[in-house]
Amino acid sequence: MAYQRREYPQWSWSFSRLQTFEACKRVYYYHYYASHNGWERNAPSLAAAAYRLKKLTNLYTALGDAVHQTAQLAVERLALGKPLMAVGEIEERIREKMRSVWQWSVSGRQQFIQRPNQVPMLHEFYYGQGPTQDVVDRINDRIGKCAHGLAASLTLAELAEGRGEVIACEQFDTFELYGTQVFAVPDLVYRSQLERYLIVDWKTGRQEEQNLEQVALYGLYAHAKLGVDPEEIVVRLEYLDAGSVVELALNGEMLAVVRERAQKSMAEMRGYLADVELNQAKPQHAFPLAENRSQCLRCNFLELCAEELRIDLAAVSTR
Ligand code: SF4
């Protein structure tokens, strides 16, 4: 489809949008509104900067991406009847992706500034001299644990034994809720022999309450897209680092709670619009800075807030 320029971004909703909105209204503004059209050659400087900064990643997110890509490959290979990848191969694939992100971050600053959607850049290098040895050690340790977790994954074992039919794997999709397009990208949806639909999420971090909430939203997606009864859906979180699994059988009541939460969140977000039909945001000053400033030094958009926050970026870069 040919690219069609839009003056304002398209209105939509997702769980990550909700998290961003709750974390800091200014991040929300930069990420979902100010960055719009920032990819254009003659974009205003705020749009160009917000678009660039939105593309920054960090070591933890990069690890999550590398693990998800490797898990997707493992699922695709199993679907082709190939054997489960050995732990050594899984680990090497994850490390290879991490090395590439690291190398670009060390030497590709100019390329990132020119083409932020094509070149990866770690926050740790963009704003500083790179991560501390402590963080590097922690990530190295986590890579090994996640590789072992994936090789021993309950989900992959079930698929390898032919006990599941893959329906979707890392498939970018949307469904409609209260007239709003909702984005959902479940890591994996498959149908088990017990005639249940399993929605799987691979986690590389620690257990958090909101993880279950996010996967419950995928339940709404499965209900809407596949016409599946809520009682037939089980969500499974595989904590690869810890080697543990949490499962939750959904029901109609749970989906009603998620639906209600989404509706409330959509209404709150619309409260920050100057024109709801156009999805035109109110001016920047209507989006306050974070109440919890402890997140600011890790924020992608620090560069844009530094002056208002009275933070000296030169001092940050030598930390
Ligand atoms: S630097 Fe702080 S106030 Fe600014 S967008 Fe980020 S989190 Fe919000």
Which two three-digit tokens encode residue 20?
Answer: 């961003």
* Mean pLDDT value across the chain: 93
What's the CA gap between 139 and 174, in Å, rounded?
Answer: 33
How far apart CA 168 and CA 155 sit, in angstroms, is 14
Hunting for tokens 């080697």 — which residue is that?
A: 243
Domains in the chain (CATH in brackets) are 15-54+271-317 (no CATH), 59-152 (no CATH), 163-250 (3.40.1350)
Distance, CA of 263 to CA of 267 (rounded, Å): 6
Distances (CA, A) of 202 to 62, 68, 135: 14, 7, 22
Q: Give the confidence band of 120 by pLDDT, cuts at 50, 70, 90.
A: very high
Backbone angles phi, psi at 246, to 5 degrees: -120, 130
Question: Distance from first CA to last CA of the chain, Å, rounded?
Answer: 46
Find residue 181's DSSP bridge partners.
Answer: 176
Q: Which atom of ligand 1 is nearest to the CA of 26?
A: 5
Q: What is the mean pLDDT of residues 20-46?
A: 97
What is the atom index within ligand 1 of the atom nearest the CA of 296?
2
228 lines ligand 1 (CB under 6 A): no
Is any atom of ligand 1 closer than 6 Å to the C-beta of 284? no
Identify the pLDDT of residue 74.
96
Q: Is the CB of 24 under 6 A from ligand 1?
A: yes
Give the pLDDT confidence score for residue 173 in this predicted structure: 86
296 lines ligand 1 (CB under 6 A): yes
Q: What is the pTM of this model?
A: 0.93
Q: How confident is residue 213, by pLDDT bands cut at 50, 70 and 90?
A: confident
- Closest Cα to atom 2, ligand 1: which residue? 296
Dihedral in degrees, nearest 10, Cα atoms 266, 272, 275, 281 = -110
Residue-wise pLDDT tens digits, 259-318: 999 999 999 999 999 999 999 999 999 999 999 889 999 999 999 999 999 988 887 765
pLDDT band, very low/low/confident/very high, at 130 (cuts 50, 70, 90): very high
Beta strands in 178-313 (DSSP E): 180-184, 188-192, 197-203, 233-239, 244-249, 273-275, 280-281
Residue position matching structure tokens 């279950």: 212
Judge contact between 131 and 59, C-beta under 8 A: yes
Cα–Cα distance for residue pair 273/71, rounded to 1 Å: 39
Give Cβ neighbours of residue 95 (< 8 Å, ≥ 6 apart).
Answer: 143
Distance CA 160, CA 83 (A): 7
Atom of ligand 1 minimally distant from the CA of 30? 5
For the ranges 2-11, 92-101, 160-169, 289-298, the maximum mean pLDDT occurs at: 92-101
Pocket lining: 56 vs ligand 1, CB cutoff 6 Å:
no
Axis crossing angle, helix 15-23 with helix 252-270, rounded to the nearest 10: 50
Distance 152 CA to ligand 1 centre (A): 39
- DSSP code of residue 86: P
Split at pLDDT 50, 70, 90, the class of 216 is confident
In this structure, are residues 38 and 51 in contact, taking their beta carbons and an 8 Å threshold?
A: yes
Give yes or no for residue 31 CB within 6 A of ligand 1: no
* DSSP label at residue 57: B
Q: Residue 53 Cα, ligand 1 centroid: separation in angstroms? A: 12
Tell me what the mean pLDDT of segment 45-65 comes to.
Answer: 97
Atom from ligand 1 closest to the CA of residue 23: 7
For residues 166 and 10, what is the distance between their CA atoms, to the nearest angstrom?
31
